[in-house]
Amino acid sequence: MSRFEGKVAIVTGAAQGIGAAIARRLANEGAKVGVVDLTADRAQGTVDQIVKDGGEAFAVGADVSKTADVQAAVAAVVEEFGRIDILVNNAGITRDNLLFKMSDEDWDSVIAVNLRSAFLMSRECQKHFVAQKYGKIVSLSSRSALGNRGQANYSASKAGIMGLTSTLAIELGPFGVNVNAVAPGYIATDMTDATARRVGFEPEKFREAAAQMTPVRRVGTPEDIAAAVAFLAADESSFISGQTIQVNGGADR
Ligand code: NAP
């Protein structure tokens, strides 16, 4: 029996990278997945892969920092699959700059996409979770929550995810809802490739340097994060709540 047979999941920012890997992993283990990204066209690529692998998925276009989009996205998934059991708050952006160069827009957009979205999605999904006395919320924090040069906005948003997670675990635990977060270290995706280019490195060289600073001597893959998210979304971890699990190959910075 697959771990997520009969379950319905929503994964945000799932057109590529970590979100796409999470959506595929949950679908491979039996979940029906609402694949959310900025446009349904972008999300459709992940849906096509899931369907090719024999799974079930549905593409939804939504800017998850916007209340009306979030309400419509959750309603569309419930309409399509009849319920919602698992929410993965994965959508995220970077707008890196040192403090003296960081604009209001750099700050506001990162807080909105990385943190406000998790609040909005969690608030919308909890209606279903509380009514059915079952739900799982897993959000993406980051090792950068502990501080990272040039990322005051991103770091604050990812530390915010930790606070949101521990608070929602207290509020929703009595209703059968587990709330946890995963804090990845360096994962090879478009996001980290863009960071490499911004600081003047070829992505390949940047990854090699990151691997050398990581005790397990490699950078992470989206599948490494998907495995941790799947564990926290599954019933075997139902006594774990309010936690942020570091998935970073043992890296301390
Ligand atoms: P990514 O490759 O940039 O993918 C992020 C996805 O989110 C993209 O498909 C993006 O769409 C989508 N997105 C952006 N804004 C959105 C919005 N307002 N509404 C809906 N979707 C939106 O990033 P990733 O590396 O896979 O990262 C996934 C998550 O893990 C993020 O929360 C990130 O902060 C976190 N994380 C990543 C790393 C890492 O090393 N990669 C480390 C720690 C934490 P567009 O491409 O169209 O903008």
The atom of ligand 1 lying closest to the CA of 91 is 7
pLDDT at 253: 64
Which tens digit of pLDDT belongs to each residue from 164-205?
999 999 999 999 999 999 999 999 999 999 999 988 999 999
Is 154 assigned a catalytic role? Answer: yes
Q: What Å distances lie between residue 80 and 75, 122, 124, 213, CA to CA?
A: 9, 19, 16, 45
Ligand 1 centroid–CA 23 distance in Å is 13
Distance from the first to the final alpha carbon of the chain: 39
Q: Does 186 contact ligand 1 (Cβ within 6 A)?
A: yes
Which tens digit of pLDDT belongs to each residue from 89-132?
999 999 999 999 999 999 999 999 999 999 999 999 999 999 99
The atom of ligand 1 lying closest to the CA of 21 is 26
Ligand 1 pocket, mutate which of 12, 37, 87, 138 (most atoms under 8 A from CB): 37
pLDDT at 1: 59
DSSP letter assigned to residue 187: B
Which tens digit of pLDDT belongs to each residue from 34-89?
999 999 999 999 999 999 999 999 999 999 999 999 999 999 999 999 999 999 99
The three-state secondary structure class of 240 is coil
Q: Does 240 contact ligand 1 (Cβ within 6 A)?
A: no
CATH topology of domain 8-186+222-247: Rossmann fold (3.40.50)
What radius of gyration, in Å, describes the C-alpha atoms of the chain? Answer: 17
The atom of ligand 1 lying closest to the CA of 14 is 9
The three-state secondary structure class of 163 is helix
Sole residue written with tokens 């960081």: 102
Identify the helix (H) or strand (E) that includes residue 195. helix 190-198
138 confidence band (pLDDT: 50, 70, 90): very high
pLDDT at 252: 78
